[in-house]
Every structure is written in C-alpha cells, then in structure tokens.
Amino acid sequence: MSPDIAALLDVQTDDLAIHALERSIEQLMPKVNALNAECAKAEAALSHATALTEAEEKRRRDVLSRTENHRELLAKNTAVLNAVTSQKEATAATAQLEQVTKIIAEEEREVGAIGQRIGEARALVEERKSRLAELEAERELARESISADQGRLDAELSAVRTARNSKAGMVARPLMSTYDRIRSKKRIHAIFPIRGTSCSNCDTAVPLQRRTQMVATEKTEVCEGCGVLLYAG
C-alpha cells in the first residue's frame, strides 16, 4: 500500500470520528429544546390558572360591593317600613324589603360559590407553580450537563480536526481533492478496498486489467458503480 493511500485511510478514520462527534454535539440541543418547550407550556398553564384566579377574585369583589350597596338599601327600606303611616305604604315598603333581601341572599350564595372556585383556582396555581419549578430545575441540570458534554466534545473535535488536517497534508493534493469531492456528496466513507474482484462498497466488478494496474501502480480508481475511491488492499 502506498504512503498516500495509507495516509488517506488515516484521514478517513479521523473524518469518521469528526462525523460522530458532530452528530453527538447536534444531539445535545434537542434535549434542551424539548425542556424549553415543556417549560413554556408549563408557564402558559400557570398564567392561565393565575388569570382565572384573578378573574374570580375580581368577580367576588364586585359581588361583595353590590351586596354592601344592597345592605345599605335594606337598612333604608327597613327604616321606611318602620315609619309608614298607612297600610298601602306598609305593603309597598314590605315588597321592596323582601326583594332586596332576596337579592342579598342570592349574592351571598354567589359569593360562597365564587369562594369555592377561588380555592380550587389557587390550588391549581400552586400545583402549576410546583410543576414549573420542577421543569426549570430539570432544565438547569440538563444545561449544566450539556454544557460540560459540549465542552468535552468540542475539545475532542478540535483535537481530531487538527490531527486530520496534519494527516491530509501528507496526501497528494489531487488524491486529497478527489477524496474531499466524494465526501462532499454526503458520503461518510469515501475510500474502500477492492474485495476479491469487485468494489467492497457496492460489489460492482472491477475489470482485471484495472485491478492489475492498480496493484502495479498502487494508485486509486473511482468505482464505476458507486463513485467511491478504490484501492488494491
């Protein structure tokens, strides 16, 4: 095997390691992105529960305010009833008193129902706050872990790239250019040995004359079937 081919095989080994490291780095971010999406969903759920609680609390304040006004009206109607001088006036004052009393009773029932809903809404807010806190803590731990992993992988990637570039300098430029061109077509492996009488990547037969020439010259040829570089192993 010629020094060029041996050096190129070493380059390919480094390229495979670079590809694996790059894939590992790419796979780190989906973990954080997934947790970001979960946190965003939890934040939206918390905001909805908080808005629901605030709306119920406002509704209770409004009802309590109306009830207070009606209590004042009840007191006035009671005073009017106590001051009437005729049966007709007494009947009218009593009717008004009964109507206001009924309204106050309905409002008190409404306040009670609202109070129950507020309790449920507040419990939901606390539950969703807790869930969000759990997710944020999990995300922070993931970020710390991913940051450490990324630092380690980046260091490994830098070292392998440096070694790869050094080895690439030992390969004849035309051969290196052909190899890079083949790999640019999204191939992970670009150079393969002849296995028996055919390409070990696609099993396309290599003519005897070409095989003999490759053995004699220790040069590479491009496979007519799949386009990879072939060498006589």
Per-chain mean pLDDT for the chain: 91
Q: Are 191 and 177 in contact (CB under 8 A)?
A: no
According to DSSP, residue 205 is labeled B
Q: Dihedral through CA 57, CA 62, CA 66, CA 72, nearest 10? A: 70
How many residues in total does the chain contain? 233
From residue 134, alpha-carbon distances to 2, 79, 197 in Å are 60, 60, 62
Q: Which of 20-34, 46-60, 116-130 is least confident?
A: 20-34
pLDDT range class, residue 186, cuts 50, 70, 90: low
pLDDT range class, residue 50, cuts 50, 70, 90: very high
Going along the chain from its start, the domains and CATH numbers come out as 3-171 (1.10.287.1490), 175-231 (no CATH)
10 Å Cβ neighbour count for 206?
20
Hey, which residues does 65 pair with through a beta bridge? none
Q: Strand order of the sheet with strand 229-231?
A: 198-199, 191-195, 229-231, 221-222
SS3 at position 229 = strand
CB-count burial class (<10 Å; 0-12, 13-18, 19+) for 97: middle
**Euclidean distance between CA atoms 168 and 153, whole angstroms:** 22
SS3 at position 185 = coil
pLDDT range class, residue 117, cuts 50, 70, 90: very high
**Euclidean distance between CA atoms 25 and 165, whole angstroms:** 21
Q: Which two tokens mark 131?
A: 């869930």
Look at residue 161 and tell me whether its pLDDT is greater than 90.
yes
pLDDT range class, residue 84, cuts 50, 70, 90: confident
Share of the chain above pLDDT 70, in %: 100
Would the pTM of this model clear 0.75, i.e. be above it?
no
Nearest 5°: phi and psi at 41?
-65, -40
Mean pLDDT of 181-202: 88
pLDDT on residue 101: 93
pLDDT on residue 124: 95
Residue 227 makes CB contacts below 8 A (sequence gap 6+) with: 182, 185
